[in-house]
Structure 1
Amino acid sequence: MIFQGSSAALSHTGKVRSNNQDSGYAGSNLFVVADGMGGHAGGDVASSLAIRRLEDLDRPFASSGDAERSLREAITGTAGDIIAMVGRRPELSGMGTTVSALMMVDQHAVIAHIGDSRVYLFREGQLTQITADHTFVQRLVDSGRITVEEARYHPRRSVLMRVLGDMDPDPEVDTFIMATQPGDRWLLCSDGLSGVVDDAHTTKILSQGFTPARTCDLLLKQTLDGGAPDNVTIVIVDVGGPHPVVTGTPTIVGSASTPLDIDVPSSARPGWTGWLHPNRQAANEPTHFEPDAEFLEELIEEDRRRARRRRIGWIVGAVVVIALMMGGLVLAYNWTQTRFFVGADETSVVIYRGVQQDIGPIALSSEYEQTGIDLADLPEFTRQTVETTISAGSLTEAREIVDRLRRQAEAAG
């Protein structure tokens, strides 16, 4: 089913950067924002690779589940494309990109996300952030170490913990499916918008009911008025509503709108990379973030804390499981000691406490009472029955069995 609604995409370099490393895509069913990073041209290439890989998914799908699997596979495949590109062009080492993607399938929105670009849902006057930022600062918020407001101005707010880059061929991508309805307005954006314009002002602009294109313009103006220190990419998708259905050629904005095979100077210095990814870098940006030793130590210590919490969790879980097992064994053993049976030792009839079974070397029965009845005095069949044991529900029942055996011994004598 072709998505019925209207959409728009817009991308701007901002007031500080000299080049635009963002990319955006608004098609018939697929909508994407990718925020590239990695120094001169590297971010351009990474975000363009993401759009190139994903645009093949702009088609109808039989089910939202099929769409979710295809979207996850395509984003993971983008990581392979980036690794392959760096293999051919080592000067691009360290490049990467975020991806926030939305696919419309019947009455559902299929969402995939990695990095700190965002997907919002504006429904009935309320703006809700649907994706979670994969940043170091968001981790501090989640752990209660800083507040959401403090996170907006934290000096490390753009340090990414998960991103599509040249270090991980199998990145962890968040995917999920949500029901959507006519009147919903979806907003996808890079952190160039969300880091400058707060939710209250974004809500005010979205609620005015302008077309997606006009709304993109108003959000961009708000960002430029706020200084626009980073590239800004905005995609707006309306489900149903009063606007005409947009069909035909998709809208591609940002670096993906230009040919991918761009010229990259061999002297370009790659940015710091690894399992953490720094703030985005422009080619002529002299004040880009370089991690100092104190910050690296903070990140390492945070990861150690996570590892310790995981170990403690495993230990506590193991202790709880062992305690439950031991408690169960104690209860089971105590129950066996409420049972009795009549058996034999080498020469005589004995009342035993417990059950006839043993667990390996652990005996679940013990001698409780000698009866004084010799096995030799019992009839052959009765003696064999005693030697194979006779179960009793209680001590009283066991003694009744013994009385019968005594009478048989006396009669046989």
Structure 2
Amino acid sequence: MVGYASAIGSHVGMVRSNNQDSGYAGRRLFLVADGMGGHAGGDVASALAAQAIAGIESPSADRSAADASATARTLRDQLLQTNRMLRATVGDRPELAGMGTTFTGFITVEDRLALAHIGDSRLYLLRDDRLTQITKDHTFVQRLVDSGRITEEEAKTHPRRSVLMRVLGDVDSSPEIDTEVLETRPGDVWLLCSDGLCGYVEEVDIEKILRRRTTLQSAVDALIDKSLAHGAPDNVTVVLVETLPEALPAEETPEPRFAGSAATEVPGGERISTGRTRLLNRRRIVRRGQPVAESHFEPRVDEYLSELIAETKRRNRRRRVLGVLGLLAIVGAIAGALALGYQWTQTRYYVGTDGATVIIYRGIQQNLGSISLSSIAENTEIPLDTLDGNEQRAVERTLSAGSLEEAREIVLRLGED
């Protein structure tokens, strides 16, 4: 029977004043929730959701007797019940209207994971030293990427990237929740994270940190540090779970731990308020991030999507127009520079030959592709063979002059003893 080891951490970031993330690492249940609603209730929503879902974990449950598919359905049903609880909370506390939270988490069932997911927190898998994203974001920009309207790179900077299409909370009475059963094997490392990590740290850097880990907790700390190095403009929460060949002895199994907002008041749970977390919360980073837009929910209605898609098309058209104008400006600048350069060449002269006669040329000897940068200014009608050997060679090599008068003086000196 396989076993599982875990580590968890959360940081408020360098910009936000409160931590709207919540995380949980239990014996069988692991999750990340990212609240929305700002000071009005994002931290409350994620904490309530994390605490409510953590309540379904039973330390004494016989995991071998459970069915992974049934467990996934149970997790989904509990999330729907949590959604009703969040809406009821807003009924009692109107100042929390509009609060909501993402949720990504799983329950282990022997060598399988019962996954539930809603929002834009993510689950990744590191297997054979290769990182793969398992969940798909429930965001407007992901809809645009899926439909081929924008690229993954464009999605990273899209002005609507903070728009969530599915969340738990006071926004939807019956949200659609993705569930899935995943197989795991010893050596797998599962990463649950809020978008404070995956939104600012490249996947290649995440993969490197996980591959080079010495312990799970050191990897969690390194991932948070990497987000801080990028300015940490958002809260960041990380949960790592490693699949082991066999279960840990009871004395080595850690107690359930909460992190982030859910760690404030959780009966029976261990708070993640270690010396390291306090140090991270005080840490000053030179590269301070800019404030980011608050995540917010928009209803999944065709009219709204059509409006946003039309806005994206207008934005892309503006970008193409600006690109064309920029290209024209560059071409114009190059053409202007070439014109000025050509004008300068026409102020220069040199004495040369057409092979038979001494010629005064205007311009310079070089050509610009097939374009000659010189022309005949005067044909002196002096036969080249009337000059002595040294003068012939000098004329063939050309004699530069700063003006037509100077070129004529050079011609007059030819043949003088």
Q: CA deviation at 1:235?
A: 0.3
Tell me, which stretches of 5 or more residues in structure 2 are unaligned? 268-290, 312-417
Counterpart for residue 214 of structure 2: 210
Q: Which amino acid aligns with 2:46?
A: S
Distance 1:259 1:63, change over 3 A: same
Q: CA deviation at 1:24?
A: 0.1
Question: Contact 2:234–2:292 at 8 Å: present in 1 too?
Answer: no
Contact 2:163–2:296 at 8 Å: present in 1 too? no
Match of 1:94 in 2: 98
Contact 2:101 2:168 in 1 (8 A): yes
**Does the CA-based 8 Å contact 2:34-2:121 persist in structure 1?**
yes
Asked if structure 2 preserves the Cα contact closer than 8 Å seen for 1:45 and 1:260, the reply is: no
Distance 1:288 1:33 in 2: 18
Give the match's secondary structure for 1:14.
coil
Deviations 1:243-299 (A, max 9, x none): 9665242010000011289xxxxxxxxxxxxxxxxxxxxxxx7975899xxxx9873
Determine which of 110, 125, 143 is the counterpart of 2:114: 110
Contact 2:100 2:171 in 1 (8 A): no
Cα pair 2:162 2:295 within 8 Å, conserved: no
Question: What is the SS of the residue equivalent to 1:57?
Answer: coil
Equivalences for residues 307-386 of structure 1 within 5 A = none
1:156 Cα deviation from its structure 2 partner: 1.5
**Could you tell me how far apart the structure 2 residues matched to 1:139 and 1:32 are?**
24
Distance in 2, Cα, partners of 1:85 & 1:147? 39
CA separation of 1:287/1:174 partners in 2, compared to 1, >3 Å: closer, same or farther? closer
Which of the numbers 190, 193, 201 marks the counterpart of 1:189? Answer: 193
SS at match of 1:133: coil
Q: What CA distance in whole angstroms lies between the structure 2 residues aligned with 1:258 and 1:116?
A: 24
Give the Cα separation in 2 of the matches to 1:289 and 1:83.
18
Q: TM-score, normalised by structure 1?
A: 0.63
1:28 alignment partner AA: R
Match of 1:42 in 2: 41
**1:7-406 correspondence to structure 2 within 5 Å:** 7-59=6-58, 60=61, 61=63, 62-240=66-244, 247-259=253-265, 299-301=305-307
Paired residue total: 277
Residue-by-residue CA offset, 1:159-205 (whole Å, 9 max, x unaligned): 10001121222110000001100000000000000001111000000
Per the TM alignment, residue 142 of structure 1 is displaced from its structure 2 partner at its CA by 0.4
Residues 288 and 27 of structure 1, relative CA distance in 2, 3 Å threshold: closer
The answer to whether the Cα contact below 8 Å between 1:111 and 1:175 also exists between their aligned partners in 2 is yes
Match of 1:40, SS state, is helix
Whether the 8 Å CA contact 1:211–1:243 is kept in 2: the answer is: no
Cα shift at 1:4: 1.4
Classify the secondary structure of the residue corresponding to 2:31: strand
Contact 2:37 2:294 in 1 (8 A): no
Q: 1:58-97, CA deviations, whole angstroms, 9 ceiling, x for partnerless residues?
A: 2344111221111001111111011010000000000000
Distance change in 2, residues 1:289/1:133 (3 Å): closer
TM-aligned CA deviation for residue 44 of structure 1: 1.1
Kept in 2: contact 1:21–1:41 (CA 8 A): no
Supply the distance in 2 between the matched residues of 1:104 and 1:16 (Cα, whole angstroms).
35
Query: What does the per-residue CA deviation read over 1:97-120, in whole Å, with 9 as the maximum and x for residues that have no partner?
Result: 000011110110111000000000
Structure 1 runs not aligned, ≥5 long: 262-284, 306-413
Aligned residues: CA RMSD: 2.7
**For 1:79 and 1:253, how far apart are their aligned partners in 2?**
21
Letter in 2 for 1:172: E
Distance 2:212 2:114 in 1: 26
TM-score, normalised with respect to structure 2: 0.62
Flag the 1:241–1:203 CA change in 2: closer, same or farther, 3 A.
Answer: farther
Give the residue type in structure 2 aligned to 1:299. Answer: L
Correspondence for 1:323 = none
Q: Is the 8 A contact 1:48 1:260 kept in 2?
A: no
- Alpha-carbon shift at residue 154 of structure 1 (Å): 1.6
Identity among equivalent pairs (%)? 52
Partner of 2:412: none
